Each structure stands twice: as C-alpha cells, then as structure tokens.
Amino acid sequence: MAEPEEVTASFREGTGTPVVLLHGITMSWRAWKPVLPFLVGRHDVFVPTLAGHRGGPGLRPDATPGIEAVVDVLCDQLDEAGIESAHLVGNSLGGWVALEMARRGRARSVVGFSPAGTWRARRDLLRLLLLFRAGHMAVGSPRLSWVATNPRTRRLALGRMFARPDRVPEEELIGLIRDFEDCALFTAMLGGGGHGLEPLAEFDVALCPVKIAWAEKDRVIPYGRYGRPMQERVRGAEFTMLPGVGHVPMYDDPRLIARTVLEVTSSVDANDQQERPRRRRRSA
C-alpha cells in the first residue's frame, strides 16, 4: 500500500492578490491539491492547515476549543505569512472560519463551499456529531484502508464525502484517512456532545462580497437542513448550487471549483483597480 507524502503545515505558490484556501474539519491543506494548478497562475495562493489538525499548529495555550480559537491561530498564520487581507475560500468548517475572519477585517472576499456553521434545530447538530463519530470509529478499524482503496468498495466507504470517490488517488486517500485519525480538534470540540457550539451569528455582507456555493450532492450537510439556515444568516450573499459534486467538491470537479473562485476574485480585483484612480483623484 502506498505511503502518504511527508506531512507539511502549509502550501504557498503563485503571484498576484492573495487567496487563502481553508479546509474542512478532520482534513488538512492537502484537500485543496486538485484545485491548486488552476489558481497559482492568477494568485498568490496560501493554503494553511488549520489549528488542531494533522500537521497544523496547536491552539493558543488555555484556549477553549472552538471556531474562535481556530480563527485566532489563523490570524497568527496570516501574520506570519505577511498577508493582511486576502480572498478567503473555505469548504465546510473552512467556510465558517472564512466568514469569521471576514468579521475581523481580513477578507477581500469570501467564497464558501457548503460552509458549516448553521443548523435549523439541535437535532441537526447532533446528527452531524453522530455522523463524524461513526466515521472516526471506522477510521480506527485496520480494514478501512483496504476498503477505501479498493475500487469496488470505495464508493460505499466514501460516497458521503465525495460524489466521485474514484477521482481520489490512492496515496491522497491514505493521507485523508490519517488526517481524520489525527485531528485533535475533532475530539476536543465535537467529542463533548456539541455543548458550547453556537451557530454562526448573522453576517453583514457589507464587510466584503460573499458567495456561497452549495454542493448539489452534499450528503453531509445537505442544503435543505443546513443551507437554508445559512441563507438566513448571511442575507444578501450570492447563493448558487454546484451540480454533480459532493460535500468535499475539490476532487469531484476541480475545474468547476477553481472557476467559481476566480469569478469572484477577478470581479473584486477588477473593481478595486477601478477604484484606485478615483481614490487618488479624491485625495489630490
């Protein structure tokens, strides 16, 4: 069986305005690898592993595990990378983190792919906890690696996360499994039955342009139960449905994901370039 690549804390490459890609819970920066070739030619792309995840930094000392603690460390990571503000792109937990970063003034724009953070009732939150706990228990089984890497059983094992599990290379899949195994934040934040987890507070889209792109085949946080409440909390954002992709859409259709990102970043950057001469004239 192939071994996963050496664990690294982040990825950075490219030139242009900065784009920061944020992964979902139990994952790492490597979840974005299929999309990177389409973005690095247009942007300075920084992909950190979030705090509490395999290869990433720990939370600040004495921090209570949760979204705010992850955001605090991400601010430090951007500071260390010399990035004051960026286009923030997040999947699942990463989408929630991106919106919270925007509240802190660190976003030029936000693109969220099936972002976490909203639910209609507590039973919907408990459903997610049970789903991830079941997955975590399965990861502990020595049989899972064989099941997940066997083409005949891969769809059954991974069909909830990906619409096209066959598009995940074996070596990447093993790395994703180990990311799931070694996610300290999962145990700390979700292992307590969700106590202390509060949904996303209402978001003011005047802070920056926001686009929410929901995966049509999302079986983890389907739009009906989790996307509609998000639409109510982030009023005025652009919402769209992405055809043919699952909860982690980067492997299912990397070109579609990159195109969705670039549509937003190109528009915002073009508007900013038009505003600069106007600001200079007003200043003069």
Q: For this structure, is 247 an active site residue? A: yes
Taking only the tens place, the pLDDT of each residue in 107-117 is: 999 999 999 99
Distance of CA 132 to the CA centre of its chain: 16
Taking only the tens place, the pLDDT of each residue in 59-94 is: 999 888 889 999 999 999 999 999 999 999 999 999
The answer to whether 51 touches 69, Cβ cutoff 8 Å, is: yes
- Shortest CA distance to 114 belongs to which of 136, 98, 100, 130? 98
Distance of CA 242 to the CA centre of its chain: 15
User: Rounded distance, CA 185 to CA 6, Å?
Assistant: 21
**Helices vs. strands in the chain: H and E counts, helices first:** 11, 7
User: Looking at the predicted structure, is the pLDDT value of residue 283 above 60?
Assistant: no
pLDDT of residue 89: 98
User: Rounded distance, CA 101 to CA 50, Å?
Assistant: 13
Of 28, 85, 92, 109, which one is the catalytic site residue?
92
Q: What is the DSSP string of 171-230?
A: HHHHHHHHHHHT-HHIIIIITTTTTT--PPPP--GGGS-EEEEEETT-SSS-IIIIIHHH
Q: For this structure, is 124 an active site residue? A: no
More confident residue, 127 or 51: 51
Of 109, 114, 247, 252, which one is the catalytic site residue?
247
Taking only the tens place, the pLDDT of each residue in 184-216 is: 888 787 655 555 578 999 999 999 999 999 999
Share of the chain above pLDDT 90, in %: 64
User: Looking at the predicted structure, is the pLDDT value of residue 52 above 70?
Assistant: yes
User: Rounded distance, CA 194 to CA 225, Å?
Assistant: 17
Tokens found for residue 270:
């073009």
Angle of helix 170-181 versus helix 122-139 axis, rounded to 10: 120
The answer to whether 96 touches 68, Cβ cutoff 8 Å, is: no
User: Looking at the predicted structure, is the pLDDT value of residue 106 above 70?
Assistant: yes
Of 44, 179, 218, 269, which one is the catalytic site residue?
218
Indicate the domain borders of the chain.
10-283
Q: What is the pTM of this model?
A: 0.91
Taking only the tens place, the pLDDT of each residue in 25-39 is: 999 999 999 999 999
CATH tag for 10-283 (out of 3.40.50.1820, 3.40.50.300, 3.20.20.100, 3.40.1190.20)? 3.40.50.1820
